[in-house]
């Protein structure tokens, strides 16, 4: 029963959906502050490579090293987001251009590849990796075993993140302020909320989430470092935010839905079914096109519930 | 000791000195009006007092103590709240959420918030000051008048000692303005300081204890309203004797209908119905004014007639021929000219030269273009002609339109629209933000247009302007025409009631 195609697909949906979920949540947090960051793919790749470097380098017991490595991935990607924040918040650069530039700079063929090759991370087996979180006995349970108990800790932490972000937005004062900053920065400013600070913090935190998303590949799914290992997951994450109408809980559903697609070629291959892999490889690009079309149609954005000031800088003394 | 005193406040923006050594004092417990023409620097001064702008020079004192505000937070902490000209509300938030936004005193939760907890308090404040709004309503669902109440509730909730209102009556009917004045008086009687910004003289004399007049960024005088008359304030405000806009008798030869709307409906930007079953006939030689509080469908009406917005029901007939609608080129060909509300962005292309802007609607004509090629010489000639005949003050036809002042820009728009010899002119708030002499000029052109046989729709929120220009007045409320008045006999009170949607005689 645990080998039935449905169970396998669902299990891989959760596995491959998890990095999407982290990154989409991060993008959601940034976008709620009004900052669009198309650099997710680049930030994920930097997170993936730095996380893997940390796991190979830091001495100590496995669980601790893994936790620290995820932290390193988050910080590295957060620093990437800080560059974007500086460009678009302080220098008021165009957010789309800056985000794309970030992906080109940091992504495959850029900084992340350079780091991976320079630090000799390629082809090395991981010293530690996230394995199944629950004891072996539970993994063999029918249906729930593969879908749930075989999963690694990062899967469950992601749920905590979803709940945390949802709670933050709905129930806390900083969350309320954040939404105001993303909707009408002029109103937030007049009420004494520091728009610049809110945007910086949430852009950087959003980037850190993307770093964890990247580390999910290199520390759990693969687990090793391969150049460009995210294969467009960052773009899907950006699209996901839109399809989730900027709501954390819907991000979860969407991430697993797209995770199923992302995992499908591997699942099918393992069973000897061959579908043209190009079909699936094209998916991220199709998504990207959809995103860019949606994001550029301001009317559509409004109707979908996008933050009112998404993509626009705020300057107090300008009319 | 004055509650607020500003000394030598100077604020420069690129190319303008918005405040030039302004002196201002307001006492505790008074309603103090700040009067001045558009562009006099009133909003700039109040933004300085609320910490949004930093003054280049000058000092701010509150209750005798020197303060320096780095941000609006500091001003809020000092008890200053402002109702901005363009409201600073978060549209998707509820009223209660807007009220507690940024209120860090921890009521309703320091880290955790529950806007529900303060709904009762918001409702109470609303009752007490006669500005009730449903605390659970979302702001985008509210009328502009109600949104203004939310802004005042924010100030009351924070127990502001000093409240500044920037042109609060622009979005209100005369009756709503009256009731606002009662609220402001009540607040002042409790010992608060209310600074009321306006350029409307009768309001200032009605509500304020004292008035400070600004002109060209400088303080002209501070006088008690008891010693002031509208005439004396007007001359302080513009620096010379003026007549308040008056009716000029006009030779009228009313002809055939040039524009007929039959049951026209349209949807607004948010997808809700913005126009409902609007029927209206304009005849040649006639000025029909559309009165109403801003946001009751006037903009959508203008856009529908000019083909910028499709109709959902009904039809538009110009000179006996029905338009298919939703096609601005068709409307231009049918002879509809448009002086839009937002003259800088809809009226012209701001970065293009005056010359290019004068041919925006006629570039296909053979006198301007030969095939796909423009005849630049002819265009320039035409622009020079427009500049001289409409007395546009500028250094030449190649100046980008954005560099013109409001009045001169409006002359360019009028000149371009009139040059097509239209049958119908839709003029939306054609004098908003213009100075007195530019207003006179624009009014003269509108009158001349009607005398020359055009049918004119004048959309305006300025009742004085409507009474001075119109032959007939229709009033819009929530997308419908709720009444029609003869301009000879109409009164502001009668218009005001209709503007508030009151169509039954009040018992
Ligand atoms: N943020 C700004 N940037 C540039 N110029 C401005 C800005 N705010 C106001 N001004 C200019 O300063 C002058 C005074 O404007 P304002 O204070 O808005 O006048 P008022 O409120 O009396 O109509 C005007 O000439 C206006 O164009
Ligand atoms: Mg103003």
> By a Cβ cutoff of 8 Å, what residues of chain A touch chain B?
171-174, 176-177, 179-180, 183-184, 186-194, 303, 308, 316-317
Q: Which residue among B82, B102, B112 sits closest to A193, beta carbon to beta carbon?
A: B102
- Cβ atoms of A185 and A195 within 8 Å: the answer is yes
A220: pLDDT strictly greater than 90? yes
Distance B46 CA to ligand 1 centre (A): 11
Pocket test for ligand 1, best of B18, B35, B204 (most atoms within 8 A of CB): B18
Please state the separation of Cα B161 from the chain's center in Å: 28
Nearby residues for ligand 2 (ion, Cβ within 5 Å): B 43
Helix (H, G, I), strand (E, B) or coil at B277: strand
Residue B52 to residue A171, Cβ atoms within 8 A: no
- Rounded to 10 degrees, the C-alpha dihedral B235/B238/B244/B245 comes to 160
Residue B92 to residue A308, Cβ atoms within 8 A: yes
Q: Is B313 left (phi over 0), alpha (psi -120 to 50) or beta?
A: beta
Helices assigned H by DSSP within B51-200 = 72-77, 95-100, 116-128, 144-157, 174-189
B241: pLDDT strictly greater than 60? no
The predicted model gives A112-135 an average pLDDT of 90
Helices assigned H by DSSP within A60-194 = 62-85, 95-106, 111-118, 136-139, 144, 153-171, 173-183, 185-190
Q: Note the ligand closest to the C-alpha atom of B432.
A: 1
Return d(Cα A211, Cα A215) in angstroms, integer: 6
What local confidence, expressed as pLDDT, does residue A33 receive?
Answer: 97
- Rounded to 10 degrees, the C-alpha dihedral B115/B117/B120/B123 comes to -10
The predicted model gives B21-25 an average pLDDT of 95
Six-digit token string for B102: 């940024």
Six-digit token string for B14: 């690129």
B245-335+422-507 homologous superfamily: P-loop containing nucleotide triphosphate hydrolases (3.40.50.300)
B244: pLDDT strictly greater than 60? no
Which of A170, A175, A183, A187 would you mutate first to test chain B, the one with the most B CBs within 10 A? A187
Pocket test for ligand 1, best of B14, B15, B16, B219 (most atoms within 8 A of CB): B16
Return d(Cα B85, Cα B342) in angstroms, integer: 16
A149: pLDDT strictly greater than 90? no
Residue B93 to residue A308, Cβ atoms within 8 A: no
As beta bridge partners, residue B195 has: B32, B164
- Which residue of chain A is at minimal alpha-carbon distance from B115? A171
Return d(Cα A77, Cα A204) in angstroms, integer: 8
Helix (H, G, I), strand (E, B) or coil at B444: helix
The predicted-structure confidence for B322-377, as pLDDT tens digits, reads as follows: 998 889 899 999 999 999 888 888 888 888 999 998 888 876 676 777 878 888 88
Which protein residues touch ligand 1 with a CB less than 6 Å away?
Answer: A 317-319; B 13, 16, 18, 36, 38-44
Residue A317 to residue B53, Cβ atoms within 8 A: yes
The residue contributing the CA closest to ligand 1 atom 13 is B18
Angle made by CA atoms B304, B309, B313, in degrees to the nearest 5: 65
**Which of B147, B132, B128 is CA-nearest to residue B189?**
B128
The CB-side HSE value for B396 (13 A sphere, CA atoms) comes to: 2
Q: Which atom of ligand 1 is nearest to the CA of B46?
A: 17
- Rounded to 10 degrees, the C-alpha dihedral B134/B135/B138/B142 comes to 40
3-state SS of A66-101 is HHHHHHHHHHHHHHHHHHHHHHHHHCCCCHHHHHHH
Residue A183 to residue B71, Cβ atoms within 8 A: no
What's the DSSP call for residue A125? P
Q: Which residue among B84, B90, B110 sits closest to A180, beta carbon to beta carbon?
A: B90
Please, is B376 exposed, middle or buried when counting C-beta atoms within 10 Å of its C-beta (0-12, 13-18, 19+)?
Answer: exposed
Helices assigned H by DSSP within B219-287 = 230-238
Residue B93 forms contact with A (CB below 8 Å): yes
How many CB atoms are located within 10 Å of the residue B499 CB? 25
Name which CATH class applies to A13-304: mainly alpha
Residue A179 to residue B114, Cβ atoms within 8 A: no
What local confidence, expressed as pLDDT, does residue B506 receive?
Answer: 46
Return d(Cα B314, Cα B309) in angstroms, integer: 13
* A124-128, B175-179, B279-283, B390-394: which is most confident: B279-283
- Cβ atoms of A262 and A20 within 8 Å: the answer is yes
- Residues 46-65 on B with a CB inside 8 Å of A are 50, 52-53
What local confidence, expressed as pLDDT, does residue A178 receive?
Answer: 97
- Cβ atoms of B503 and B323 within 8 Å: the answer is no
CB proximity list for A43: less than 8 A, separation 6 or greater:
A23, A37, A77, A80, A81, A102, A106, A207, A210, A211, A214, A234
The predicted-structure confidence for B29-60, as pLDDT tens digits, reads as follows: 999 999 987 778 999 999 999 999 999 999 99
CB proximity list for B184: less than 8 A, separation 6 or greater:
B31, B163, B165, B194, B196, B207
Partners of residue B154 in chain A, C-beta under 8 Å: 191
Q: Note the ligand closest to the C-alpha atom of B167.
A: 2
The predicted-structure confidence for A139-148, as pLDDT tens digits, reads as follows: 888 888 888 8
The predicted model gives A53-66 an average pLDDT of 95
Which of B94, B113, B269 would you mutate first to test chain A, the one with the most A CBs within 10 A? B113
Domain-by-domain residue ranges, chain B?
4-238, 245-335+422-507, 350-421
Return d(Cα A144, Cα B14) in angstroms, integer: 66
Q: Which carries the bigger pLDDT value, residue A239 or residue A269?
A: A239
Q: What is the ipTM of this complex?
A: 0.88
What local confidence, expressed as pLDDT, does residue B111 receive?
Answer: 85
What local confidence, expressed as pLDDT, does residue A80 receive?
Answer: 97
Return d(Cα A46, Cα B504) in angstroms, integer: 70
The residue contributing the CA closest to ligand 1 atom 27 is B39
**Which of B381, B384, B430, B425 is CA-nearest to residue B409?**
B430
Residue B116 forms contact with A (CB below 8 Å): no
What local confidence, expressed as pLDDT, does residue B106 receive?
Answer: 65
Return d(Cα A36, Cα A98) in angstroms, integer: 10
The residue contributing the CA closest to ligand 1 atom 4 is B13
Q: Note the ligand closest to the C-alpha atom of B52.
A: 1
User: In which order are the strands placed within the sheet that holds B65-67?
Assistant: B16-26, B4-13, B57-62, B65-67
Residue A192 to residue B104, Cβ atoms within 8 A: yes
- Which residue of chain A is at minimal alpha-carbon distance from B155? A191
Q: What is the CATH number of domain B4-238?
A: 3.40.50.300
B316: pLDDT strictly greater than 70? yes
pTM of the model: 0.79
Six-digit token string for A232: 């467009």
Residue A303: which pLDDT band, with cuts at 50, 70 and 90? low
Q: How far apart are the first and last CA of chain A?
A: 64
Residue A183 to residue B90, Cβ atoms within 8 A: yes
Partners of residue A194 in chain B, C-beta under 8 Å: 71, 73
Q: Which atom of ligand 1 is nearest to the CA of B166?
A: 21
User: In which order are the strands placed within the sheet that holds B321-322?
Assistant: B273-283, B257-267, B313-318, B321-322
Return d(Cα A49, Cα A66) in angstroms, integer: 14
Return d(Cα B114, Cα B323) in angstroms, integer: 53
- Cβ atoms of A190 and A40 within 8 Å: the answer is no
Return d(Cα A141, Cα A151) in angstroms, integer: 13
The predicted-structure confidence for B262-289, as pLDDT tens digits, reads as follows: 999 999 876 778 999 999 999 999 999 9
**Residues above pLDDT 90, as percent of chain B:** 52
């Amino acid at each position: 029963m645990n080998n039935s195609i449905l169970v396998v697909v669902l299990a891989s949906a959760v596995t491959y959906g998890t990095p999407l979920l982290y990154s989409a949540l991060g993008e959601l947090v940034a976008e709620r502050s009004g900052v669009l960051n198309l650099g997710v793919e680049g930030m994920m790749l930097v997170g993936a490579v730095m996380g893997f470097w940390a796991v190979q380098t830091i001495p100590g017991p496995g669980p601790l090293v893994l936790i620290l490595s995820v932290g390193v991935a988050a910080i590295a990607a957060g620093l990437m987001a800080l560059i974007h924040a500086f460009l678009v918040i302080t220098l008021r650069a165009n957010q789309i251009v800056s985000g794309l530039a970030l992906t080109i700079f940091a992504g495959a063929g850029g900084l992340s590849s350079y780091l991976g090759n320079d630090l000799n991370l390629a082809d090395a087996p991981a010293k530690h990796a996230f394995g199944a979180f629950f004891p072996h006995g539970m993994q063999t349970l029918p249906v729930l075993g593969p879908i749930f108990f075989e999963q690694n800790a990062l899967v469950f932490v992601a749920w905590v993140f979803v709940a945390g972000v949802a709670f933050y937005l709905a129930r806390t004062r900083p969350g309320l302020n954040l939404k105001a900053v993303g909707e009408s920065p002029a109103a937030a400013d007049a009420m004494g909320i520091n728009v610049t600070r809110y945007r910086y913090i949430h852009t950087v935190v959003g980037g850190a989430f993307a770093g964890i998303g990247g580390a999910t590949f290199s520390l759990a799914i693969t687990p090793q470092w391969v150049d460009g290992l995210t294969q467009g997951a960052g773009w899907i994450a950006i699209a996901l935010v839109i399809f989730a109408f900027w709501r954390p809980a819907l991000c979860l559903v969407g991430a697993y839905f797209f995770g199923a697609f992302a995992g499908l070629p591997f699942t099918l291959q393992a069973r000897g079914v061959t579908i043209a892999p190009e079909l699936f490889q094209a998916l991220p690009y199709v998504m990207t096109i959809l995103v860019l079309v949606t994001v550029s149609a301001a009317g559509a954005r409004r109707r979908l519930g996008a933050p009112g000031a998404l993509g626009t800088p705020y300057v107090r003394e300008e009319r | 000791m004055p509650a607020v005193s500003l000394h030598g406040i100077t604020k420069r923006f690129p190319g303008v000195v918005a405040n030039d050594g302004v002196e201002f004092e307001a006492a505790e417990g008074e309603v103090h009006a700040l009067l001045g023409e558009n562009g006099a620097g009133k909003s700039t001064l109040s933004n300085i007092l609320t910490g949004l702008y930093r003054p280049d020079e000058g000092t701010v004192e509150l209750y005798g103590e020197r303060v320096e505000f780095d941000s609006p937070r500091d001003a809020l902490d000092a008890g200053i709240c402002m109702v901005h000209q363009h409201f600073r509300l978060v549209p998707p938030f509820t009223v209660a959420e807007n009220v507690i936004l940024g209120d860090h005193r921890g009521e309703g939760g320091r880290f955790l918030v529950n806007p529900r907890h303060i709904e009762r308090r918001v409702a109470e404040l609303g009752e007490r000051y006669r500005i009730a709004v449903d605390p659970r309503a979302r702001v985008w669902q509210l009328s502009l008048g109600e949104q203004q109440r939310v802004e005042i509730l924010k100030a009351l909730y924070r127990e502001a000692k000093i409240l500044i209102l920037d042109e609060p009556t622009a979005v209100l009917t005369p009756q709503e303005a009256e009731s606002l004045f009662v609220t402001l008086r009540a607040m002042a009687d409790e010992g608060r300081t209310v600074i009321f910004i306006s350029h409307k003289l009768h309001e200032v004399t009605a509500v304020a204890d004292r008035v400070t007049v600004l002109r060209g960024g400088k303080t002209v005088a501070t006088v008690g309203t008891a010693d002031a008359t509208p005439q004396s304030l007007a001359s302080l405000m513009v620096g010379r004797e003026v007549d308040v806009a008056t009716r000029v008798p006009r030779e009228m030869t009313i002809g055939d209908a040039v524009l007929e709307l039959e049951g026209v409906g349209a949807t607004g930007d948010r997808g809700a119905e913005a126009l409902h079953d609007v029927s209206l006939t304009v005849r040649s030689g006639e000025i029909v004014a559309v009165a109403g509080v801003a946001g009751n469908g006037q903009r959508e009406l203008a856009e529908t007639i000019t083909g910028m917005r499709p109709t959902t029901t009904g039809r538009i007939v110009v000179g006996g021929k029905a338009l298919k609608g939703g096609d601005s080129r068709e409307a231009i060909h049918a002879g509809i000219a448009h002086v839009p509300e937002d003259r800088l962005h809809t009226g012209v292309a701001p970065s293009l030269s005056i010359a290019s802007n004068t041919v925006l609607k006629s570039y296909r004509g053979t006198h301007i273009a030969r095939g796909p090629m423009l005849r630049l010489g002819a265009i320039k000639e035409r622009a020079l002609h427009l500049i001289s005949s409409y007395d546009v003050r500028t250094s030449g036809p190649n100046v980008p339109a954005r560099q013109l002042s409001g009045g001169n820009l409006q002359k360019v728009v009028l000149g371009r629209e009139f040059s097509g010899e239209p049958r119908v002119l839709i003029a939306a708030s054609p004098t908003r933000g213009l100075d007195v002499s530019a207003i006179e000029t624009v009014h003269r052109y509108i009158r001349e247009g009607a005398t020359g046989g055009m049918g004119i729709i004048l959309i305006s929120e300025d009742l004085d302007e409507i009474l001075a220009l119109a032959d007939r007045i229709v009033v819009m409320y929530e997308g419908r025409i709720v009444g029609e008045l003869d301009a000879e006999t109409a009164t502001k009170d009668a218009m005001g009631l209709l503007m508030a949607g009151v169509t039954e005689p009040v018992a």
